[in-house]
Amino acid sequence: MKKVSTDKAPAAIGPYSQGVISGNLFFTSGQIPLSPESGEIIGSDIKEQTLQVMKNMAGLLESQNVSFDNVIKTTCFLADMGDFAAFNEVYAEYFTGKPARSCVAVKTLPKGVLCEVEAIVEMNS
């Protein structure tokens, strides 16, 4: 198992890695809308926050020389299922390959953000 660490995505805010590679799979930790540089929350609405989450996910993927096309499964967490349609608008711009997905509403997310996304990625052979 290899732990992933990159400055292209926010540092972990707890006792975990930004991601882990096991065999041919890359498991990302959940990405929330934090600036990789400052650690501050970016955006005040669901679309702005989702955009930052996608930028953070892109940074993690790029750090391992893979892309959104390599993602085989995502799990998405929303603070309010009323944001589902707006979240999907931004999400669909990035996950054009339509990986498998679960999307659930949760009571709260770290730092009070509106969304979080984690992914399972197939590494290039």
Q: List residues with catalytic annotation.
A: 103
CA distance 31 to 106: 15
Q: How far is CA 112 from CA 4, 32, 65, 79, 116, in A?
A: 25, 10, 31, 8, 11
Nearest one of 116, 28, 121 to 68, comparing CA atoms? 121
CA distance 8 to 10: 7
